[in-house]
A and B are shown apart, each in its own frame.
Chain A
Amino acid sequence: MTQSILRAQGVSKRVHTADQDLTILDNVSLDIGLGESVAIIGPSGAGKSTLLGLLAGLDTPSDGQIWMGDHEITATTEEGRAAIRAKMVGFVFQTFQLLGSLTALENVSLPMELSGQGDARERAIEYLNKVGLAARLSHYPKQLSGGEQQRVALARAFACSPKILFADEPTGNLDQATGMKISDLLFDLNQQTETTLVLVTHEQRLAERCQSIITIDDGRLLSRVDS
């Protein structure tokens, strides 16, 4: 196996509800190698997105440890995790999460500008070219179709050159044909940039394009199948 970039050890997540403690994730351990693409599948409510959030350092587990590269993100503060995310992580969301008041170009360049990258604009144009939106740079999200919006989101995620890209149901809001195109684009870019991809999806076909499929149900890791 290649060098590990993301590792979880005995991770559990419990939440307190009014009358009981609810276990969303139960003792999950996994290891993802650099440049690997991994799909996390499972039924609704299985804990997929919770696991994604924990792995990305957006949330902290109730038990267990998570390492991102050399950093144990479970042993650091939110500010520390933010700094690690800034260096290593990119996201693609089911709802695209584009800022409505910014153009396609500005949406893509914003995270790079926030991290102080000097060539943000040039890289944003380059990646919008790669996703086929060279003619739509100055369009606002509401002037774009769902597929186009997700392409902008992909350009935004990859332009930052993240080491790990977390994608949460990236085709969930799209029709089948558009979903196919977006997943093609996602995997193309993933290969070009050698980014590690962690993907949460319901769609078996999308999951099958990944090198590994992790199945979870009821908060427990049921299987990991490597292709």
Chain B
Amino acid sequence: MNLIDIKLLWRDWKGGQLNLVVSALVLAVMVVTAVSLFADRVERGLNQQITSFLASDLTVRGGIEIGDDYRAKAAELNLQTADLALFRSMVFAGDNNHLASVKAVSTAYPLRGQMELSDDLEAGNVTKRSNGPASGEAWVEARLFNLLDIKIGDSIEVGYLNLIVTHLIVNEPDRGTGFGAAGARVMISIDDLPASQLVRPGSRIGYRFLMSGDEASIEQYQDWFQQREDALSNSSEIKHFRLLTPDNAEQQLADAMQRGRAFLLLSGTIGVLLAGIAMALASQRYASRLTDQVALMKAWGQSANAIRRSQFLRLFIIAAVSTLIGMLFGWLAHYTLLEVAKGVFEVELPLPGSRPWIVATITGFVCVLGFALPALWHLPTIAPLRVLRRDLPDSLLGQGRRLLIGIVSLLLLTYWYSESIVTSLLFLAAIFALFAVCAIIALQFLKLVQSFGSWRGSFVRLGLANLWRRRGQTLVQLVGFSTTLMLLLVVTGLRTNLIAEWQAQLPADTPSHFLYNVADREVDAVKQLLAESDVTTTPWFPMVRGRLVSINGEAITRERMAQSDGLSREVNFTQTVDLPVSNEIVNGKWWTEAPESFEFSIEEEVASEIGVTVGDEIEFSIGGINFSATLASIRSVDWQSMNPNFYVVFYPGALDRYAPNWVTAVRAANTYGVENTKEVNRGALAKQAPFVNKMIKQYPTTVVLELGDVIARIRDVIDRVTQGLELILFLVLICGALVLFAAIGVSYDERLRENAILRTLGSSKKIILGALTIEFATLGAIAGLIASAGAEIILFFVQRNIFDMATQWHPNLWLLGLLSGVILITVLGLLRSRDIITVPPLQSLREID
């Protein structure tokens, strides 16, 4: 290693010539490191849980009790078995209550992994157990102690059961990923389930049949299950059960994580792209500074090869040091991401593996090779004669080639991030299309500004003329800044506006609560209670869960299921004489009189997804019993109406024998729901409408869902996701600022010379400062306008297509876009140009020479 190269590099760094190249590279690596460390740790955390995810080797899962044949086969193969049932129910302790996530398990549970329990509220002295609670016992999660104000040894009520809390659950093997806002865990013995009277026909309960055993027996069971599945596919019988294996659970999670990681990294790619542009521009300036040095060295007899070696060594050092610093900052930044996501993941995330570091290192080096090296490539070929004739042209690598190398590098990186060439190409095409559109619009603005500038005062004209004269650089700055600002505005808009708008658009008579799981025989009593509680309800609907099995005698294939959410899972059916409010018939006729055979109506989107028309004969399966009905009408449904809505509505009679439970929406007179969203406190019923308290005490199987709670949860999830994205985009915005800096750097010497001449000719500092301010403020205003317009368009589609709500303007977003564009660019621009204003003209002229 040549010490002179290091010394020269150090001098270049100290002289400030490498600041931008290094900052851009550090930022690019930082963004990628932060994102991939975060993704990796989350992925590892989830994977670690999978190993005991099922608490078994195999699990049969279903919405109805596990069939006897499934049990018999397990017994035949001598497999160990355990049962569990999962459902939500209110638990009480004195006047306190909580909508808990109850898990009733047999004593053999868990078959794999262990329960971690503690007798101490601080979760100390953890003991491990391979069995579930005994009859009469309840094991509960720590937060329930606070929610119910209880301690070990106190009793709690679950349904009609009185149970003694004997242990605190520190961990359970199949707790799942911790996602979602499930209630606190209460684990009871499955033997106590009947006495609780919580299991009624139609109750929403998830059943699991756990098995473990030797590998051969497990495989045999899997084969048997598969054969049975195939047989069911060929018959009219419906599949109610799914087999969970560690493999398929891992595969699903791996797929989901892969998509999540790719999404985050692709957001980071915009940062890498902007950092790349900044690096390329800064390297161009660095190269022009190195030209004289290289010519001199060649005149002294240094060979082109020696100079190439020196160039590679310097770039290697730049890449290595910047990557290391970037990784360090990325490591710190990923903690911020983890902090934002806290609460979404309840698990302690393990340390990351090597991949994020490899991704970061490759990013650093590919950035240097793809963006910095092309700008410096010509240096070794500089003619030594340049020491005498500085006007000799440089054999710079053509802009087209440099662009191509940059794009290929970016493609390589995006491919490495997303592991999909199609995603990479589509992503890059979208980004470049966005850049192109921004550039075209920006050019029109510049033309407009140029004509405007011709009749303004002196410094205004000077500033605006500069924008047009350096329109190449201006466009690069505009595109870089407006796209990042646009993305930030979209995310900010999502976070601050859309949820509030959606909430504001809810009609005045929006229900405050939803009641479901009301048992058939309790409906009248609940209606009576509600009437006494001074609340109004929407119509009551009976509800059962079932599946679509065949259409016109043709079984629904797996492929067809995949096309429709409504086909791939059990959905809610109802029956009613009257067309529900906010429903409209788009095809066929609503019943005016009782049909001769079973008939039903279907929602229009599902109808088109599964391709059914009025008159089709469709077979349904409810709880293993099949029946057919004719499609009488197709309805449009306003899902935003906040009324109970259904995909499939039968004419009354069809569902009578399936023991439905009932659902309705309630509007409490003193509206505790919507308006209270900010103060919502899950489980703290003291703040809720009085009828809620009475109802769940008297009818514990009924589930009361508060709308405010739902909105608060949606807001919470959106807040966390957007905060994470905002953090990444903030880093991307800094990359945008570097592009601005680098682009000013390209014309820096020229600006220095021009302004020195202007000042020599008598222009005051004020005029030059004014011209620069006008130049940057106009640039900022154009970038802000483009960003706001783009964000408004994106939000328009989000409002219309994702939130399905009435679209509206966001004037505050325009104001924010415009102001932040003007302020950011003016401040940053003037900061970068301060020497142009402050350095005395003679010194400026000498420095350039």
User: Residues on A close to B: CB < 8 A?
Assistant: 49, 52-53, 56, 58-59, 78-79, 82-87, 89, 91, 93, 95, 97, 99-102, 106, 110-111, 113-115, 142, 160, 168
Closest-by-CB residue of B relative to A96 is B849
B-side interface residues, number (CB < 8 Å): 30
Closest beta carbon of chain B to A84's beta carbon, Å: 7
- When distances are taken between beta carbons in the complex, the residues of chain A under 8 Å from B390 are 95
For B812-840 the 0/1 string (1 means CB < 8 A from A) is 00000000000000000000000000000
A83 contact set on B, CB distance < 8 A: 301, 303
Is B297 positioned at the interface, with any CB of A under 8 Å from its CB? yes
Query: In the bound complex, do residue A93 and residue B388 qualify as a contact, i.e. CB atoms below 8 Å apart?
Result: yes
Question: B685 interface residue, CB < 8 Å from A?
Answer: no
Closest A residue to B386 using CB positions: A58
How many angstroms between the C-alpha atoms of A49 and B12 in the bound complex?
Answer: 30
Report B435-480 residues with CB < 8 Å from chain A CB.
none
Residues of A within 8 A of B293 (CB): 99
List B contacts of A91 (CB < 8 A): 299-300, 387
Are B388 and A52 closer than 8 Å at their CB atoms? yes
Residues of chain A with a CB closer than 8 A to B387's CB: 58, 91, 93, 97
Residues of B at the A interface (CB closer than 8 Å) are 4, 7-8, 11-12, 14-15, 17, 292-293, 296-305, 383-385, 387-390, 846-847, 849
Ranked nearest first, the 4 interchain pairs of A and B with the lowest CB-CB distance are: A86-B301, A101-B11, A101-B15, A85-B301
Find the A residue at minimum CB distance from B843. A142
Closest to A87 in B: B301
Q: Is there an interface contact between A79 and B304, defined as CB atoms closer than 8 Å?
A: yes
Closest-CB distance, A128 to chain B (whole angstroms) = 18
- In the complex, the chain A residue whose C-beta lies closest to that of B298 is A82
Docked Cα-Cα span, A120 to B300, in Å, equals 15
* Contact among B14, B297, B383 with A114 in the assembled complex (CB-CB below 8 Å): B297
Q: Are B388 and A49 in contact (CB under 8 A)?
A: yes
**Judging by beta carbons under 8 Å apart, are B388 and A168 in contact?**
yes
**A58-B385 in contact given A86-B301, A114-B300 (Cβ < 8 Å):** yes
Which residues of the other chain, B, contact A78 by a CB distance below 8 angstroms? 304, 384
A120 to chain B: closest residue by CB: B4
Tell me the complex Cα distance, A52–B384, Å. Answer: 12
Q: Is the CB of B17 within 8 A of A101?
A: yes
Offer 29 A-B interface pairs, CB within 8 angstroms, sorted by A.
A49-B388, A53-B388, A53-B389, A58-B384, A58-B385, A58-B388, A59-B383, A82-B301, A82-B303, A83-B303, A86-B300, A86-B301, A87-B301, A89-B299, A89-B300, A91-B299, A91-B300, A93-B388, A99-B292, A99-B296, A100-B15, A102-B11, A106-B7, A113-B4, A114-B4, A115-B300, A115-B301, A142-B846, A168-B388
Q: Which residue, of B11, B299, B302, B305, has the highest number of chain A Cβ atoms within 10 A?
A: B299
Name the B residues within 8 Å of A102 (CB-CB): 8, 11
Which has the most chain A C-beta neighbours within 10 Å: B14, B293, B301, B302?
B301
How long is the Cα–Cα vector from A93 to B17 in the complex, in angstroms? Answer: 24
**Among candidates B14, B296, B303, residue contacting A97 with C-beta atoms closer than 8 Å:** B296
Q: How far is the CB of A124 from chain B (nearest CB, A)?
A: 13
Closest to B15 in A: A101
- A147 to B303 CA separation, bound complex (whole angstroms): 31
Residues of A within 8 A of B388 (CB): 49, 52-53, 58, 93, 168
User: In the assembly, what is the distance between CA of A160 and CA of B301, in Å?
Assistant: 12
Q: Please, which residues of chain B bring their CB within 8 A of the CB of A53?
A: 385, 388-389
Q: Shortest distance in angstroms between B501's beta carbon and chain A's nearest beta carbon? A: 56
Q: Which residues of B contact A95 (CB under 8 A)?
A: 390, 849
